[in-house]
Each structure stands twice: as structure tokens, then as C-alpha cells.
Structure 1
Amino acid sequence: MTNMIIDRRQNGPGKSVDNRRRFIRRYKEAIEKAVVDLVDQKSITDMGNGGKVRIPRKLLDEPTFRHAKGGLHEGVLPGNREYTTGDRIPRPDGGGGRGGGASDETGGEDDFVFELNRDEFLHFLFAGLALPAMVKKKLASIEEWKPKRAGWSTSGIPSQMDVVRTLRQSMGRHIALTSKERRRLAELTAEGRTDEPLEDGAQAAVAEEIHALRTRIARVPFLDPVDLRYHNRVKMPVPTTKAVVFNIMDVSGSMGQHEKDMAKRFFALLYLFLQRRYDRIDVVFIRHHAIAQEVDENEFFYSTSSGGTIVSSALSLTRRILEERYNADWNVYVCQATDGDNFIQDNETSIRLLRDLLPRVQYYAYVEIGGKALSDLWTPYARVAEEFKHLQMKQVEGPEDIYPVFRELFSPEAA
């Protein structure tokens, strides 16, 4: 006969989710620092995957107990003829110390490498971030229904059965239906244990009554269909808010490949962040040079193009999409990434469109790639930012600045 064992445990062989969570919780600070260092090394395509993080071995040292040398000890320490108090002892020859230089000893211990899966990596990556200034508009607009517990029901599917409540009902019914018989049975049993002998006829009558009572009690089923209790779930309306995020990226000729890659890395972080934190949110991708186009996610991140730079084309397209698809009930967020170059005659038009757009926007993040001090757009945008505090401006000089700037822009206290 062949026996087959099927392992349906959630933890695979040799793995333990509890131990893994305990390890992550214990070395949280070291893992957070390692994740920040890992972000700068990842490409756009690998941004949403997990990764291997290095934890210094010294942080993994466990406290240990050692037996001390107890008791009182007496000893004689010899003096010397060469040194007196205050003399300087010469440094020993090379090789006597433990630090620096080459050594023929065995190598030291390497850092501990720990691999984070996708969910764990993104959890540390976006910890503490949120869309700032999320003012919920029109909460009375019910668009979502979620099941919630609403007591118990006498019918349902087996997976929703409340075992404890069912057994409680069964025991209550059993006690209620057999309480009279149990009391009488206890009386008769007590009479049968008395020292006074009973007459033969009376003894037979008592035995017969005891048998009848026990039969009557046994006839009451332990579990009856009326005892079954199931978790009752009803659909309750949940007030929801509607949010849309516009991603605007400059792909003109003035944006070199290095600047475009940094802008794409920034938007890749933003896109993963939105996907992870918000279930109901629209993301609009707009890329522009002299002409602005609404594109899908794949074309936004991987398509290449060049040409002149007219920022007003992107702002005009953003306003048109807002008017056509999104009414005043929507929470609107805009994130614009550019190198700051623009057709000089277009600046006035861009600022006018920006002023028209900002009253409808709850948060506007402007990210300038390249780190120029005063670009064609930075100066006029900065004047507008003085009037509208929810317009936040940051500069990114290199890939190492992307993640810190991202956290500054999307911290809950940013606006």
C-alpha cells in the first residue's frame, strides 16, 4: 500500500513566515538603509521586483552568556627593571597588531545577504508616504459596497459556519430539553446510593425509571439543524473618494538620455507607489515635446522621441482631459518632470495655463532634472509657487537624488 502525503501548509518546506517576519522586524533599520542604497542601483524594469540587501555582520551578533572566573584569588605580580611610571612603551614591530595591512590569516566574515520579495521591498520603499493634501471631496457619493459582518444566520455555506456559536446553541438546546430528566435521574441515582436497602419491587421500578430517563436523554440529538449558526455578511455602502494623478514628462531633444532615464525612474517610483497604496485611482500619462500626447504606461516609460519643447501643450492637454473626464468631485494631482528648458515665447502661455490649473489641483509636484540654478521654467514657476503653496518644486542632479526627493514630495506633511 502506497501512502501519499500532501503538504498544504502555507509555509513551504524549510521556510517559516513567522521567523522571517521576526527577522525583518528586528533588523528593520538596517534593512531600510539597505533598501535606499539598492534603489539607486536598480533599473526601471527591475524597480518593482524584490532584491538582495546586505546587513553588516556585526549587527547580527547575538548576546551570549559566559562563565566568569568567580571567587577570590591571590597572586603576586612581578615588577620590571626597564620601565617606571610615566615611561612611553615603544610600538611593537609590524605584524604584531590586528588592524590594517595584509595578513596570512583566514578572511573575515562577509556581510549577511538577505533577499526581500516584491511586497517586502515595496513596503520598505514607500513606508510613511502618502498623497499629501488628500482632502476627501463629496464623501456622500457612494460608489463602493463592501461585505461586513452583521450577526449570525441559520443558513449559509460551510466555510462561514461559526463553530463556537453553533456548539453554544447545541449545548443550550440540549440542556433545556433534558434538564427535567437530568434532575430526576440525579435524584434516583442518589436514592440508589443510600445505605438503606430498597425492597425488590421498588428497586426494579427505580432501575426501570433510570433506564427510561437515560433513553429519553440519549434520544435528544447532540447537534440539530436548528443549532447551526453562520456568519452573516451584508453589503454596506462605503464612502469613497476619487483621485486622478497626471504624470507629465518632457521627452524633447533638450532632455538627454541620462535626464530621460532619471525622469522615468522617478515616475516608475511614483507609479509603483500609487499601485500599492490606492485601489481606486486613475493615472494619466502625458509625454510632450512640441506636441503633447496621452499615452499608455508602456509607451510612457519605453518609447523614445525628440523635438522642440513647448510646455504649454502638456498643460493644455491636462486641462482638456480634466474638463472632459473629471468633474469637480475628483481629487486631482499633477507631477511634472522636465529639464527646465522651454521655448522662451511659450513661458507666458505656460504660466497662464498653470495658474488656471492650480485652483483645481490639490497638489502639484514639479521636478527639474539636471540641477540648473535658474532654468527657463524654474524662475516663473517659483513666482507662481509663492502664491499657491501646494505647488512644490524640487531639483534632481543625479540618480542618487531621486529617492530622497521623491520622499520629500510625497510625505504626508509636504503640503
Structure 2
Amino acid sequence: MGLRDDLERFREVGEKRREDLADFIQYGDLGGSGPGQINIPVKIVSLPEFEYDQRDKGGVGQGDGDTPDTGQPVGQPQPQPGDGDGDEDGEPGEEGGEHEYYEMDPEEFAQELDEELGLDLDPKGKKVVEEKEGPFTDLTRTGPNSTLDFERMFKEGLKRKLAMDFDEEFLRELCKVEGIEPRDVFEWARGENLPVSMAWIEEAYKDIPDDERGKWASIEEVENNVEREDVQQKIRREGIDHVPFRREDERYRHPEIIEEKEKNVVVVNIRDVSGSMREKKRELVERTFTPLDWYLQGKYDNAEFVYIAHDAEAWEVEREEFFGIRSGGGTKISSAYELAAELLEEYPWSDWNRYVFAAGDSENSSNDTEERVIPMMEQIPANLHAYVETQPSGNAINATHAEELERHFGTDDDEVAVAYVNGEADVTDAIYEILSTESDDDE
């Protein structure tokens, strides 16, 4: 392997060492990314290179006349222009080093998160944007001759022949039994499930020549001496020319009408901004909600986001404000759901997929969860309601909101998810808990 090959291999190793997706979500700098582009830091490996000595020294074995004698100290090396981080005048440098990132869009992020966490969310389109003709899989009884399905028409005719045909010669032989009457032949045929009418038997009975009547002593004698031929044998012997075709057998291929549906989603993010939501709790909310936004943006054709902050009251905010707000007020979570219900009126359930994500430290005003929040969660149609509890130091005594939701909805409800985030290491588990809860059943 030559030096050039070794250099290429070294470069390839460096480019592939981007931060692991789960580590990035749990511990990385999420703020360096935008709504449409996720920047994941790459662990840069410096490439080897030759470097010439900057100092002006003579050739090999040559001195400048000031070389110290043996045993004398040589002193400290003197700085040379261009050495160090400062400029030529010795001032500190002001230009920052470059940071390398692996850039991915939300669609790629969603795909990689599916693989990382083992998710299989398959969004469903709701709003019909176009109807178009699909493959010719439907059949009708009328249509242009060019779409006539000959194979299906033959099958219909063949089914009729199998259902209505019988061995006529065998029945004529039965009519020759001594003393037999048409009614006796008809009753025998009914017992054999032969599709023959009484009128046909009476006509066949009349056509028997007098000298052939009494040819057989009994029906049993006919059965023992005359070979019966089933319909399949008759068709093989006579060929398909004897398969009857009727107008009602005709089937015409018709294109299936396919509805092209747009996958629309609105995500309502709710956050407690009361005085108890200190910096660490706010950071955990951001670290959980941001990847959820990226994921759903990558999964749907059209994604819109609504951000609601609340203490004892709720108000709509922009995303840039959402994670940084802190209020000194109390907490009334139902106020956020009241506002969410109002804002969701602009996104009809018939046309939009909906996700309602709320987060806080599980502290709520007395009886608000049971009397107001739970009924509203049941009344607001959504693919999924989720609540994320952020308690870095563990549960507080009055932090009961998440527990009350779990107690009411249970852990198997496919429309409500409850997750607990006590630190960064819990974030990916919480995201999996939320995204894997939604049912795959059709609406």
C-alpha cells in the first residue's frame, strides 16, 4: 500500500466518524440545527502531512557562528513569525476554527431514527388531492370491446356448464327400466343432485322406442352396466365449443380509481413554563420535543407546528420563544388543552393527522388533571396524546399528573403515551415510548 492509498483510507475513516444519532439526541448540540436541516457533528481526524521548519537554519552541519561551546546551556527557543495562535505582532488570534457537520434533512433523520430505535410508523394520508386511474383490476358487465376479459367470460360460462349440465344418455337409459315412470327418474336425479327438470325427463321418456322399454330390470342394473360420464369428462371429449356463453357472462376490465392522499400533520407542543420549571427541566423538554418535531416533519408531506406555553393560563408562542420562557405563576395544565382545542379547529380531523405533545414536571393544580385535563384529552381527536414528565431529581411529592394519566388510560392505550425523562439518558427511551404507542390500525 502506497502513501497515497494510506492517505485516502485515513480520510475515509475521518469522514465516517459522525456522532451516533442516539448520542446526538441525548447529549449533542441540538441548537445548531434548523427546522429543515439537522447538523450532526463529525469527529474530525486530522490528516497527516509534511511540514517544513519555519525557522531559518542553515544546511546540515552548518552553524551561524554563535553555537555554544560544549557544556554550555542552549537556552529557550525563540518564537518565530507565524508560530502560535496569535498574529505576527504577537496578539491573540481572533478567527475561530472550522466545525464539520454531517447534514441531513428531516426525511433522512426520520428514516435513520426508525432504524436506530426499531420504529415502523407508517403515516396515513387523509386529504384527497387527486383521483387517478390505476391498474385494470375492477370488472364491470358493460364496456368497450377492447376491454373485454375473455378469460373471465370463459370462466363464467364454464361455471354454468358445470352447474347445469348432466349425463343425458344415462338418464335416457334409466327411462328404459321396466315399469319405471318419469317421476321415479326425477326423484332418482334429485337424489344425485343432478340439475335436470321434470319437463326434460318427461320429454326424454316419450322419445323412448317401444321396443326398448323394459330393457333393464332395475335402476341398479343400469348403474352396474352403463358407465356414467361426469361434466369434466364430457368437456374434455367434446371440447370448449360446447361451453355455452351468454351475454351475462361478459366481463369488462375497468381501471381502479385511486385516491392520492396528502399526508398532513399538525403537531401541538405544550410546555409548562411555571416557576417550578427550572433550567434543567426546560433543557430536557427541548431535547425530547425537538427530535419529535424533526421526525414527524420527515414522515409527513406537510407538517405544521403549534407551540403553547402555560402556567395557570395558556398562550400561543413562536418556536424561538417556546423553550426559553419561564414564568413565576402557578400551574393549570387544562388551560393549555382548552387553547389547543380552539387552535385545532383550523385543522379538521377529517383532513389532518394530529399529535398533541405536552411536557412539564407533573405538578398541577388540585383536581385539574382528573376533572379537566383527562376529559379534554378524550374529547380532542388525535393520532396520539403524549405527556413527558421531566423531573431530574426524581418525583416531587405533588408531581402526580403523569401518574394520574397512567392510572386512567393504562399502559396499553394506543392513543395516549406517558414518558418519564429524569436525565439525558432517558430521552431516546421516551421518544421510542411515544412514537411506538400509536396504533397502526386504519381510522
TM value normalised by structure 1: 0.50
Answer with 1 or 2: which has the greater Rg. Answer: 2
TM value normalised by structure 2: 0.47
